[in-house]
Structure 1
Amino acid sequence: MSSTEQPRGPVDSSRIPRYAGPATFARLPRLDEVGGRADVAVVGVPFDSGVSYRPGARFGGNAIREASRLLRPYNPAQDASPFALAQVADAGDIAANPFHIDEAVDTIEAAADDLLGTGARLMTLGGDHTIALPLLRAVARKHGPVALLHFDAHLDTWDTYFGAAYTHGTPFRRAVEEGILDTEALSHVGTRGPLYGKKDLDDDTKMGFGIVTSADVMRRGVDEITDQLRQRVGDRPLYISVDIDVLDPAHAPGTGTPEAGGLTSRELLEIVRGLASCRLVSADVVEVAPAYDHAEITSVAASHTAYELTTIMSRQIAEARDPGAGAL
């Protein structure tokens, strides 16, 4: 979008009820309705063939879109109107083969390449965490090795499951092996629960990951943790990956591998908002499985998380075009 064009925003909910019409993210226009180009493309990846326990995240993207009908155009927490600062559009779904994981990974990577090639940043709605690997490949092809903040109950740096290299528990080991992550700027946030053995932590450390557990957030507080994460990332291009199971099951029951003792939705949102000064180049929210959700609790939390991430990207895009416009 040029500096003289005005973004096309969401449907006016004072004229058309929120429950009416197609469920695009935040009731934003489709990508084809804005000429096929957007500053931030919200894209779904309905794929969950990489899960190791409960399936259903293939329906997560559309569940998040439905929950996002309640999002409004002004974000008071960041004092910004993200959809007026930059063109944000719903790019629909990347259709990937549910019967062949390797082929699906290649399809997702190619589609992400195409979207990034238009100049857009990606806000991806999963899908299971397998999809983070092809997304990171595409982002690193554009920006070089990226910093990663990985919000999750689990490490996702295991080697294989049943001999399969590409699963929702392995994407970040593969990413380190492929050299697409900046190993000086990696951190898990919100991890907790039992592991297969202490070697899991040893291997993770060797890959360069720092760990902020959910107990760390509880004991040290959001502000201190966020400051630590900002320092770790510095001014590097940053990718944020949010597995919704980073939240306690009380806040996100609709996910495939729940673990007790997680973050509250308030803690997650405050940490994300605190990263607004970091150079966010793309992000994902994954592992929403609506079949296990109650009253859309999980989908609502996921939609608000995606909204905060989108707001950060929109502000930074506006600031790059017109210093001061994004008020970072």
Structure 2
Amino acid sequence: MSTLGHQYDNSLVSNAFGFLRLPMNFMPYDSDADWVITGVPFDMATSGRAGGRHGPAAIRQVSTNLAWEHNRFPWNFDMRERLNVVDCGDLVYAFGDAREMSEKLQAHAEKLLAAGKRMLSFGGDHFVTLPLLRAHAKHFGKMALVHFDAHTDTYANGCEFDHGTMFYTAPNEGLIDPHHSVQIGIRTEFDKDNGFTVLDAGQVNDRSVDDVIAQVKQIVGDMPVYLTFDIDCLDPAFARVPVRR
């Protein structure tokens, strides 16, 4: 199954340069990379306005403004001296085929993990997390989830491809343990009986960062952790909820 390629790619939404101007490698599985960055230009599962497919390209483009500063204050080290990170470009799939995207992304992730790599993935709408969770759970077993978002994404609406259902589906498939998982920054209504620890936006704003981190570490314990961010966990003054018109 072909999932990457520099001759045939999603060129309408892809970039010709890597995140933070890191080297591009379209054959990352056999490389000596520690971490592999993958773009997933997909937005068919959104409940509102499309456009998330342009996310990977936008992230890479903005990142070039930061690439010149190798040491990020206050951490006095260059990430590239400690880790070998490559950008493998964007997942290749037929736009309009959500099932193909899901299957190809899971296959790509499984192949990277089997080769001993770690992944950093850019969406795309948040649904892309579900095939990634399936791949990681196959490799690591049941995981803890640390999830930054304005929404819990635990809605049970029966839709196969929906960016608000992943964390309802994932526990039911045995991919994550909600009792060792935490959702941070929530500022919408949610089901309080789904087992997740929810630290809503008001709670987080009233506490110190160190206090929140300590609680998160206590909740996840010794389980392998999957970390995921939705952009709307940020202050809406700077990053508005992307699904509303």
TM-score for both structures, normalised by structure 1 = 0.65
Q: CA deviation at 1:22?
A: 4.0
Aligned residues: 228
CA distance in 1, matches of 2:36, 2:174: 25
| 1:94 and 2:91 are equivalent in the alignment | yes
Per the alignment, residue 242 of structure 2 pairs with 256
Residue of structure 1 aligned with 2:191, choices 181, 194, 201: 201
CA distance in 2, matches of 1:60, 1:32: 19
| 1:189 and 2:184 are equivalent in the alignment | yes
CA distance in 1, matches of 2:93, 2:26: 20
Residue of structure 2 aligned with 1:222, choices 173, 198, 209: 209
Q: Is the 8 A contact 2:34 2:84 kept in 1?
A: yes
| 1:243 and 2:230 are equivalent in the alignment | yes
RMSD: 2.0
| 1:30 and 2:24 are equivalent in the alignment | yes
Structure 1 residues not aligned, in runs of 5+ = 1-20, 259-291, 293-328
CA distance in 2, matches of 1:225, 1:91: 34
Q: Is the 8 A contact 2:179 2:197 kept in 1?
A: no
Percent of aligned pairs sharing the same letter: 37
Per the alignment, residue 231 of structure 1 pairs with 218
Greater share of helix: 1
Report SS of the residue matched to 2:129: helix
Q: Is the 8 A contact 1:147 1:239 kept in 2?
A: yes
Q: CA deviation at 1:80?
A: 3.0
CA 139–78 in structure 1, closer or farther in 2 if over 3 Å, else same: farther
Per the alignment, residue 53 of structure 1 pairs with 48
| 1:44 and 2:74 are equivalent in the alignment | no
CA 126–103 in structure 1, closer or farther in 2 if over 3 Å, else same: same
Q: Deviations over 1:204-245 (max 9, x none)?
A: x33x20100110111122221111111112232111100011
Report SS of the residue matched to 1:184: helix
Bigger mean CA deviation after superposition, 220-229 or 240-249? 220-229
Report SS of the residue matched to 1:59: helix
Q: CA deviation at 1:33?
A: 8.3
Superposition pairs of residues 248-327 of structure 1, within 5 angstroms: 248-253=235-240, 256-257=242-243
Superposition pairs of residues 11-160 of structure 1, within 5 angstroms: 22-32=16-26, 36-71=31-66, 72-160=69-157
Residue of structure 2 aligned with 1:167, choices 138, 159, 162: 162
TM-score for both structures, normalised by structure 2 = 0.86
Q: Is the 8 A contact 1:23 1:69 kept in 2?
A: no
Q: CA deviation at 1:32?
A: 4.3
Report SS of the residue matched to 1:149: strand
